[in-house]
Chain A
Amino acid sequence: MSMWELANPKRFMGWTAPVLPWAFGGAALCLTVGLVWGFFFTPDDFRQGSTVKIIYLHVPSALMAINTWFMMLVASLIWLVRRHHVSALAAKAAAPVGIVMTLIALFTGAIWGQPMWGTYWAWDPRLTSFLILFLFYLGYVALWAAIDDADTAADLTSVLCLVGSVFAILSRYAVNFWNQGLHQGASLSLDKEENVADVFWLPLLVCIAGFVLLFIALVLLRTRTEVRARRTKALMARAARA
């Protein structure tokens, strides 16, 4: 059996049903452990005090905000090349999750920014990029909502996602060029010198795992809803013809 058969709507509904509770359960477990560990069992940072602990929401949500768009891009490509309906519907289902992740990242960033930089908002390159990403998400969702025919909508939004990705990367570069920022460098990288200290790092990893699982669970749940909605429409169309 080729892995593409898993993308057949009926098979998809079949294999995702048992996966879903595990994804939600895993997300709940990881987030509880990670957040409790991070909030109550790590020391305060010697410069930032306890404000640093918002990192456990801020970093995972920011990561997922970008990776959701990336997942939508891959799903759009699969739809355009192989025309698997579930792929297009998964991209549609992921977009609102991406919007929420972007908003969480922006809001937690603002809350963190006030004590650190003395301002909730600055036109810093990273912050600005996230605001632009938010606009891209809005346009993508609005285009899905505006088109009646499901396949036309899938085609057009996929092309928009492709073109949008290129311009989103361009914007990131342009914004860097336009204003050097306040934002600290990457919190996690393979270069050890750059990393946050180990005591913060481990609970952060658990939180990131929690966010990834939550994303998977939400996207699967929403995709299943989209598949059901499409099936309802298809059955009604067939009944109307018979």
Chain B
Amino acid sequence: MLQVKGLACARGGVPVLENLSFDVAAGQALVLRGPNGVGKTTLLRTLAGLQPALVGDVTFAEGTGAYASHADGIKTALKVTENLSFWASVYDRAVPDDVYAAFDLSDLRDRMAGTLSAGQKRRLGLARLGVIGRDVLFLDEPTVSLDGFSVKMFADWMRDVHLARGGCAVIATHIDLGLDAPELELSPFVAASDARGGTDEAFL
């Protein structure tokens, strides 16, 4: 469903990762591992198309990808329902009713997003993924500020809803989500200090 071949990506013009190749099949999640600064966020942004790859190919069907950063993109002056229906209409869809239950937002529907706790906001941010109905998800630290119960809830949604209906996901996280998913350790792919392709290259 998602193929990555010979990918190298850069942060601030400096190559950070190189020679990455992996496939993610439908119904499968891939968990990215690696110490802080190894380039997980950079890789996810590159996969999502926010920044160009130095070399290599990222292939997935057009109009199936979606990105979630560690910022939630929640508007504090909008209600929970308004936040979700905004994203639904951007993606030309309707908000499915079960998404509130899946992310434990049923009681919070009419609250202003600004009055939510950090964990509740995060759940709202993740609920966006349930609304937009994209198959290939690139998730950057989706469980930050979630308690154990909410982490399990998110993992359940990922396994029983998203992957079950044939979606796939690439997830950068430091905790164990309890998903039956292969892990990819990024440390071996850290770009050599003389790696080519950076914007400084012409000056060296």
Q: Does a CB–CB distance below 8 Å link A and B in the complex?
A: yes
| A–B complex contacts, Cβ < 8 Å, 26 sampled | A8-B202, A9-B203, A85-B199, A85-B202, A85-B203, A149-B12, A149-B13, A150-B13, A150-B199, A151-B13, A151-B199, A227-B203, A230-B200, A231-B203, A231-B204, A234-B200, A234-B201, A234-B204, A237-B14, A237-B200, A238-B193, A238-B194, A238-B204, A241-B14, A241-B193, A242-B193
Instruction: Pick from B12, B14, B202 the residue with the most CB of A within 10 Å.
Output: B202
CB distance from B190 to the nearest CB of A (A): 9
User: Contact between B200 and A9 (Cβ–Cβ < 8 Å)?
Assistant: no
Grouping DSSP codes into helix (H, G, I), strand (E, B) and loop, the B interface class, with mixed when no group exceeds half, is: loop
Across the two chains, which residue of chain B brings its CB closest to A229?
A: B203
A149 to B12, CA, bound (A): 7
A235 at the interface (CB under 8 A from B): yes
For residues 185 through 227 of chain A, which have their beta carbon under 8 Å from a beta carbon of chain B?
227
Q: Does A183 contact B (CB under 8 A)?
A: no
Chain B residues lying within 8 Å of A241, measured Cβ to Cβ, are: 14, 193
Complex A-B, nearest 6 residue pairs according to Cβ-Cβ distance, in ascending order: A234-B200, A242-B193, A231-B203, A241-B193, A234-B203, A151-B199
Q: For the complex formed, measure the closest distance between the CB of B106 and the CB atoms of chain A, giving whole angstroms.
A: 43
A109 shortest CB reach to chain B, Å = 41
B18 to chain A, nearest CB (A): 13
How many interface residues does B have (CB within 8 Å)? 11
Q: Beyond A230-B200, A230-B203, list 9 extra A-B contacts (CB 8 Å).
A: A9-B202, A150-B13, A150-B199, A231-B204, A234-B204, A238-B193, A238-B194, A241-B14, A241-B193
Question: Roughly how many angstroms separate A32 CA and B14 CA in the complex, as a whole number?
Answer: 48
Asked if B193 and A233 sit within 8 Å, CB to CB, the answer is: no
Q: Which residue of B lies closest to A154 (CB)?
A: B199
Nearest opposing residue in chain A for B191, CB measure:
A241
Nearest chain A residue, comparing its CB with the CB of B16: A241
Q: Which residue among B199, B200, B203 has the maximum number of chain A CB atoms within 10 Å of its CB?
A: B203
Number of interface residues of A (CB under 8 A): 16
Cβ of B200 and Cβ of A233 under 8 Å apart?
yes
Instruction: Give the residues in chain B near A150, CB-CB below 8 Å.
Output: 13, 199
Q: How far is the CB of A50 from chain B (nearest CB, A)?
A: 51
Give Cα A235 to B14, complex, Å. Answer: 11
> Which residues from 140 to 169 on chain A have a C-beta closer than 8 Å to any C-beta of chain B?
149-151
A1 to chain B, nearest CB (A): 17
* CA of A9 to CA of B200, assembled, Å: 11
**CB-based nearest A residue for B194:** A238
CA of A237 to CA of B201 in the docked complex: distance in angstroms? Answer: 11
CB distance from B69 to the nearest CB of A (A): 19
Using Cβ atoms and an 8 Å threshold, which residues of chain A touch B203? Answer: 9, 85, 227, 230-231, 234
Q: How far is the CA of A67 from the CA of B193 in the complex (A)?
A: 42
Contacts of A234 in B (CB 8 A): 200-201, 203-204
- Cross-chain contact B204 with A235 (CB below 8 angstroms): yes
Q: Which residues of A contact B194 (CB under 8 A)?
A: 238
Binary contact readout B159-170 vs A (1 if CB under 8 angstroms, 0 otherwise): 000000000000
Q: In the complex, A147→B202 CA distance in Å?
A: 20
Q: Separation in Å of the B169 CB from the closest CB of chain A? A: 30
B13 proximity list for chain A (CB < 8 A): 149-151
Residue of A nearest to B199 (CB): A151
Bound Cα distance A174, B129 (Å) = 51
Most chain A beta carbons < 10 A, residue from B12, B14, B193, B200: B200
Least Cβ distance of A232 to chain B in Å? 9
With the chains together, A231 CA to B203 CA distance in Å? 5
A86: min CB distance to chain B, Å: 8
**What 1/0 flags go to B10-31 for Cβ under 8 Å of A?**
0011100000000000000000
Cβ-closest chain B residue relative to A235: B204
Q: Which residues of chain B are near A231, meaning CB under 8 Å?
A: 203-204
Q: Which residues of A contact B200 (CB under 8 A)?
A: 230, 233-234, 237-238
Q: How far is the CA of A235 from the CA of B193 in the complex (A)?
A: 11
A14 to chain B, nearest CB (A): 14
Give A8 to B13 CA distance when docked, in angstroms.
18
